[in-house]
Structure 1
Amino acid sequence: MSATPREGAPLSPFAGLRIEPMTTVERVAEELRRSLFEGELEPGTPLREVAIADALGVSRSTVREALGVLVAEGLADRLPNRGTQVRRLDSAQVADVCRARVVVESAGVRRWPDAAEEERQELRDALSAYSDLRGSDCTTAEFVAAHLRIHRALAGLAGSSRLLAFVDGLHAEVRLALAEVDRARGNAAEQVHSHSHLLDLLEAGDTEAAAAELAAHLEEAEESMTDEVERRLRAE
């Protein structure tokens, strides 16, 4: 029970703070995400409701709802008569997504001169947040989310909410593959430098050079992710 402020006492600066407690479904989904991004559950792994419910001490219905969240996020697939499993992409699918990213993110980069200031600032803020994670003990999921926030901000320069919705769908498809690569690389400093250089080119007004830098970055990402997917498939 909260205390009643004394009459005339200054209002606490924290008086308006509120938190929304996570539901059990959200907690289960978050734990499954962590396990996926940390590589504990590999692509193709069956996500069995009973086993997960027993491991986490929750009901099967809670697990079922949490798995539905992962399916909606593109992290898991629900297969007819086979249940739910961790999403598995082949190298052709990864390459297709990466090429689509080049098109939509380049459109944003080329619109930098006409982009709204809040759209430009979102890119700066995203890069700053990504840089702050360098050398930290953040999880792979947090690192990947910060990485993709930069690329979402690049697409956001186009000023189209529909385009951003499309980008979110593309990112959902490659988050697991990107997590595998970022875990294996461990080259946060190099990634921060690459993205910083791209922003420097934009700030200097050289949008074509920035677009070329972005294309090279995404081509390298495509190669790394497809190599990782093919390596995993060979190991199975």
Structure 2
Amino acid sequence: MAGASTPPRNPFTPLSVESESTVSRVAAEVRRAIFEGDLESGTPLREVALAESLGVSRPTVREALTVLVTEGLATREPHRGVMVATPRAESVRDVCRARWVLEGAGVQAWPAADAVRRARVRTTLDAYTAAVRSGEASYEELNERHLSFHVSLVELTGSPRLVQMAEALMDELRLALAQVERINRNAHDEAGSHEGLVELLEADRIDGPDGAHAFLRKHIDDAEVEIIEALGLE
């Protein structure tokens, strides 16, 4: 008689939904604290203190911090550990230069863009302005909706690679933008500026000194100066 067969190995045994969701919740809570200003740039993110405060294990905190480092919200340095990221003036300038290339290409592509991509620009703008005017959105939510609008401009090009580049740039910029909005309480002003840009696009006013392309250039140049001055990065 043949011996009893060995049950097939379950490849999913090592997976743990509870552990993964705990890491996500810890990352979400630290992320919220960063955007709301409870944790300022340069604040050390100590594993022991965070684990005690949040009631989780140090390995869970360590994994959550790795997520935040990947997102650009935190940095990990030898012998110093993990800390909330600090924007640098030259990085802000470089990101804004790259934004101008990508978003400027999107604005120039407006006349040839299909109706779906054009509609997404309006949809992301409406979501951002609605969040601003509700007065109830967190800085994290405002930041995400703000940057989604700028990515939608790049989507007008129809190039997935350019969109990926834009999303990477926004990851670098979102901490600095969130801090400026929180410091200056200027989300309402930003919403108005974005509405002006979309009105020019929808009127097919792209070129010339009063067109959308020039409007965007001034918007990005002003954002660069505002971020650097507000955060004292000079």
TM-score tier (shorter):
0.7 to 0.9
Write out aligned runs for 1:88-107 (5 A). Answer: 88-107=86-105
Whichever residue aligns with residue 145 of structure 2, its letter is A
* CA deviation profile, 1:78-98 (whole Å, cap 9, x unmatched): 112221111112211111111
Query: What is the aligned partner in structure 2 of residue 221 from structure 1?
Result: 223
Whichever residue aligns with residue 157 of structure 1, its letter is L
Whichever residue aligns with residue 199 of structure 1, its letter is V
* CA deviation profile, 1:200-232 (whole Å, cap 9, x unmatched): 11111111210111111111110110112326x
Write out aligned runs for 1:81-230 (5 A). Answer: 81-133=79-131, 134-208=133-207, 209-230=211-232
Cα separation, 1, equivalents of 2:107 and 2:55: 47
Identity of aligned residues (%): 47
Give the TM-score taking structure 1 as reference length: 0.86
Whichever residue aligns with residue 48 of structure 1, its letter is R
**3-state SS of paired residue (2:232):** helix
Give the TM-score taking structure 2 as reference length: 0.86
8 Å CA contact 2:180, 2:231 repeated in 1:
no
Whichever residue aligns with residue 108 of structure 2, its letter is R
**3-state SS of paired residue (1:195):** helix
**3-state SS of paired residue (2:37):** coil
Cα separation, 2, equivalents of 1:121 and 1:69: 32
**3-state SS of paired residue (1:207):** coil
1:75 equivalenced with 2:76 (yes/no): no
Cα separation, 2, equivalents of 1:191 and 1:90: 22
Cα separation, 2, equivalents of 1:46 and 1:186: 26
Larger radius of gyration: 2
Cα separation, 1, equivalents of 2:179 and 2:169: 17
Query: How far off its partner does 1:116 sit?
Result: 2.2
Structure 1: unaligned runs, 5 residues or longer: 1-19
* CA deviation profile, 1:165-210 (whole Å, cap 9, x unmatched): 1111111111111011111222333222211111111111111210
Cα separation, 1, equivalents of 2:134 and 2:189: 12
Alignment: residue pair count: 213
CA RMSD in angstroms, aligned pairs only? 1.6
8 Å CA contact 1:113, 1:205 repeated in 2:
yes
Query: What is the aligned partner in structure 1 of residue 50 from structure 2?
Result: 52
Query: What is the aligned partner in structure 1 of residue 10 from structure 2?
Result: none
Cα separation, 2, equivalents of 1:188 and 1:73: 22
Structure 2: unaligned runs, 5 residues or longer: 1-16
Whichever residue aligns with residue 42 of structure 2, its letter is G
Query: What is the aligned partner in structure 1 of residue 23 from structure 2?
Result: 25
**3-state SS of paired residue (1:113):** helix
8 Å CA contact 2:106, 2:156 repeated in 1:
yes
